[in-house]
Structure formats: structure tokens, C-alpha cells
Structure 1
Amino acid sequence: MDDDFTEFRGIAERMADAARDVTLRHFRTELRIDSKRSDFDPVTAADREAEAAMRAILAETRPDDGILGEEAATVAGTSRWTWVLDPIDGTRAFISGMPTWGVLIALCDAGGPRLGLIDQPFTGERFAGGPGVAAWTRGDAARALGVRGTTELAEATILTTFPEVGTEAEAAAFHRVARACRLTRYGMDCYAYALLAAGHVDLVIEAGLQAYDICAPIAVIEAAGGIVTDWQGGPAHDGGTALAAATPELHAAAMDLLNG
């Protein structure tokens, strides 16, 4: 059963449902907001409780697997698999009452993500990608995911979460690409990657990422036919920089400008 992706997806769906219940119970309520760092990196009870709910499901169903999550200690498993969890990707949006935050769940082996879910609790949308699946669902509605075929930067829509992106040099690199694109939008957190997989936008470029920020989006976008690397064209699943593109042509053009 170690490569039964039907089983794995079922477990991921259970975790997403559990995290959805927790986060929606807290969303747009009066919450205590703590900071993990002096420069304000917010965390709430919703983050901690949602991750705890997901970890409880893994303890029951996959006790030999590793866990890498944002809010609790890493668990070193004895199987080949590690679950990578972000209970609320976009806590800044969450505490501001914005609906674009999400729950990220990925299943990884030594080579990177193999299965991913991007769940948007408030909109009720779920984006899944992995072996045999590239799907958007919302309640009983479902359709296949698929990136669009844009090949020219001049026709592309590009997204990132923060206008400042990362370091000053990384921000300058992003804006070189953005100036070549038709439309630039900000502030979507993991929803940006979901929109790329669904064929609504063409590029997502970010920096300063952790593994739990990007593993699930990689699996979803790759299942939808897109490409995700770091800014040098290497693997992005350990965090750092990410360049997600709908087509190889867009990816190559954006990477040239990022490194220009």
C-alpha cells in the first residue's frame, strides 16, 4: 500500500476537511494574534489547531510517515514518505478577513512532491494534483485542471504575494519580469498557484519560501501541465525562490529576465 495514491488522496482529503472545519470556525472572529518574529510573522490558534487536527489523522492512518509542518516539530518517519503541511497559508490574509488564504497538504518522497492539495475553505474550492488526478472541486461540482497555453510574456498575467517579493535584488528581478507582462496582481498567497493550475493566470514568482509553502502547489501545477522550479531552473520543493509557469516558453523567458 506504500504507493496507493487513492489511499493517500483519501487521507489528504480527510486532513483538508478537518483543517477546513477548524479554520472556518475561527475565521473573521476576534483572535489573539501572536508573532513568531520581531518583524511580525503572525500565528493564531487557528493555525495551531488546524495543524494539530491534521497530525492527529496522520497518527491514526500513517504513523510511520514523516511530517514537516509550519507550527509543530518535524517528525522523522521510518517510511519513504513525508507529509508537508501548512495549516493556513496566508495568515496575514486570514487575520485581515480576506478570503484568499488556504490549507496546503503535500506528500513527498526524496525526489519531491508526489501529491498535493490546495484547499480554499472560505470559497469551498479544492485543487488536487498527483498521479491520476488534476481536479478542481467545489461541493458536488468538479472539473479537470489544466494550465493555459500562453507563450509570450506580453500576453501573460503574473502574480506574487508581496510587491517587495524578497530581498531588494529579488524584488528588482521580479519587477523586470512583471514589466514585460500584460497584467500584474498581488496578495493571493497559495491561491495564485491554484489559479495558474486552473488556467486563469500564467506566472507566479515568489521568494523567501519555506518547503511547506511550495510543495503542494508544485504537485498541483505539475499535474495540470505546468512547470515549477527555482529561479535557476532547479528543484523548488525545499523552499527559497519559485518560478511557476504555464508553459516552457514562458518559464524560459521569465527565467532569463530574473537572472538578467
Structure 2
Amino acid sequence: MSPATAEPQALLDLAVEVGREAAALVRRLRPEGRVPVADTKSSATDPVTAIDRASEELIRARVAAARPDDGFLGEEGDTLVGTSGVEWVVDPIDGTVNFMYGVPAYAVSIAARRGDDVLAGFVVNVADGREWGATLGGGAFRLDGTPHRITTPAPPPLTHLLVATGFGYDPQVRAAQGEAVTRLLPQVRDVRRIGAAALDLCALAEGTVDAYVEQGLHPWDLAAGGLVATEAGAVLSGLDGPPDRRLVMGAHPDVAPEYFALVRACGF
């Protein structure tokens, strides 16, 4: 691919190629049992492993070799400002705590964006090989097995929604989020806390859950999975505008206004 090419499908093709290689690296390097912590980030319970860093280094090197003029924003390394207008937004292991403990829900997440527009996104669950991809305006797809288009299914009533959520690592923030979930829980079917935002958003895309809410997401948590969700037909929103670190909530358009009002009322 020419470094000057910024067509969404070409960017997705590169994301898939590099993401699969990174996922294979993570599987190969993961030892039996628990994975040791190499460092922490926002709090003592927010871990980084050496394998997170190895995955990001591989992705950064492969993208730089294919597209040397692009920018790069990764969870574990320094931000690189490019000159092409395209920036890669990468979570080398989304769901690091799951990865450490061996809970089979952790992903490599790779997106390419230009300005505020995410052009392409790829998410692979390293533990079981499920893959999702999307391009801006081109739809969302399951890419493992026989590739096929996915569409967010029509939702049940508000009181029957299965809602995916997550919690931050700061104790005070976590306490406030817990109180908001306590207010939400009696008004929906149930909640699920999977522990990987990219996988939650892909679950919303194909209907494994009906709705989503989380605070504290970084761009690398949201970019690829968010594109998969919106290209599948889901609606994403923030508190009073686009989804951001303050709040991300998502649902099918038929229930989104009612669900978003409920999320706000619960104090997220």
C-alpha cells in the first residue's frame, strides 16, 4: 500500500494484517498462570505488562514501515505526530487485567483516523480469535470464519435491556460509578462487566448486549470498537455531545433516546 493512500478499506486491510500479527504475538508470549505486572498507570490497580509493551512495539513498527508519514497514538508509548493527516489509535491489549488473570476477554484494537473521523477499525479477541472490522461508510463485519456484515438487532423494551458497563481504576471515581450502576440496575434486565471496552462495543454492534455505558474511556479504548458499533447501526453519545472521556453510551436508535435519558438520570 502506498503511504499516501488513505482509503478506509486500505487502512482496514493494514489494521487486520498488523492486528492479527500482534494477537499471535500476545498468544505466543503469554505464560501459563497469571501474567506479572511490569508497571502501573492511573492507580496501583491499573496494570501494564511487558507483553502490552511488546504488542504495541510490534504494531508501531509495522505501521511505520507501511506508512511512515502517519501519526501514532498508543496506550503504552509516546505519541508520534505525523504529516499525512492519518493517525493510528492503538490499544495493544484492551482488557489487561483479564489478560493477566486468564479471563478469555482481551483484545488488540487498532483504528486509523483523520481528524475526528475514524476511517477504519479492527478488533480481535486474542483469547478466542473472534474478529470485527469496519470502515467509515462501509459497514461493520465479523472477519473470522466466513466474513459477514453485522447489524445491530432491534432492541427489547428499556426494562429488558442487557447493558454492558465498566469501571475506572481511581477509587473515588469507581465509587461514584458504582452508585450510578446501582440506580440503573433495577430499571433494566441486567448488567454485564466484561472488562474490555472494545469487546463491549463489538458486542453492542452484533447484539450480544443491548446497550452500553462507561466513563473514563481513552481514544484507544473507543476508536475501533466505536466505529464497529456505529457502522453496525448503533448510536453512540456522550453526556451532551459526542462520546468522550466523560461518558460513552450506546444503544440501538429505537431505544437510544429513552436509554440515554435514563443513563443521565442515574448520574453517570
For the 8 Å contact 1:104–1:117, the answer to whether it is kept is yes
TM-score (norm 2): 0.88
Q: In 2, are the aligned partners of 1:159 and 1:188 still within 8 Å (CA)?
A: no
Is the contact made by 1:148 and 1:200 (CA closer than 8 Å) also made in structure 2?
no
Specify the alignment match of 1:225 in structure 2.
233
For residues 64-75 of structure 1, what are the structure 2 equivalents within 5 Å? 64-75=69-80
Contact 1:163/1:186 (8 A) holds in 2: no
Match of 2:182 in 1: 175
Q: Answer whether contact 2:72 2:82 (CA < 8 A) is retained.
A: yes
- 1:123 corresponds, among 117, 121, 128, to 128
Paired residue secondary structure (1:208): coil
- Give aligned-pair identity as a percent: 29
Gaps of 5+ in 2: none
Distance 2:108 2:185 in 1: 27
Query: Could you tell me which residue of structure 2 aligns to residue 36 of structure 1?
Result: 40
Match of residue 221 from structure 2: 213
- The letter for the 1-side match of 2:14 is I
Unaligned runs of 5+ in 1: none
Give 1:158 shift. Answer: 0.5
CA contact (8 A) 1:210 1:240 kept: no
Structure 2 counterpart of 1:198, from 194, 206, 212: 206
Structure 1 CA distance, aligned partners of 2:58 and 2:105?
21
Runs of 4+ in 1 over 6 A off after TM superposition: none
CA distance in 1, matches of 2:120, 2:220: 13
**Corresponding residue of 1:90:** 95
Q: Distance in 2 between matches of 1:123 and 1:57?
A: 23
The 1:106–1:82 alpha-carbon spacing in structure 2 relative to 1, beyond 3 Å, is same
**What TM-score do the two structures reach when normalised by structure 1?**
0.90
Output the amino acid matched with 1:15.
V
C-alpha distance in 2 between matches for 1:164 and 1:182: 26
Per-residue CA deviations over 1:66-107 (Å, capped at 9, x if unaligned) read 110001100001111111000000000000001101111111
Question: What is the CA deviation profile of residues 120-140 of structure 1, one whole-angstrom value per residue up to 9, with x for unaligned ones?
Answer: 1221111111132411122x3
1:1-260 matches, within 5 Å, as 2-29=5-32, 31-37=35-41, 38-131=43-136, 132-138=138-144, 140-150=145-155, 152-162=157-167, 166-189=173-196, 190-232=198-240, 234-236=241-243, 238-245=244-251, 247-260=252-265
Pair 231,172 (structure 1): closer, same or farther in 2 beyond 3 Å: farther
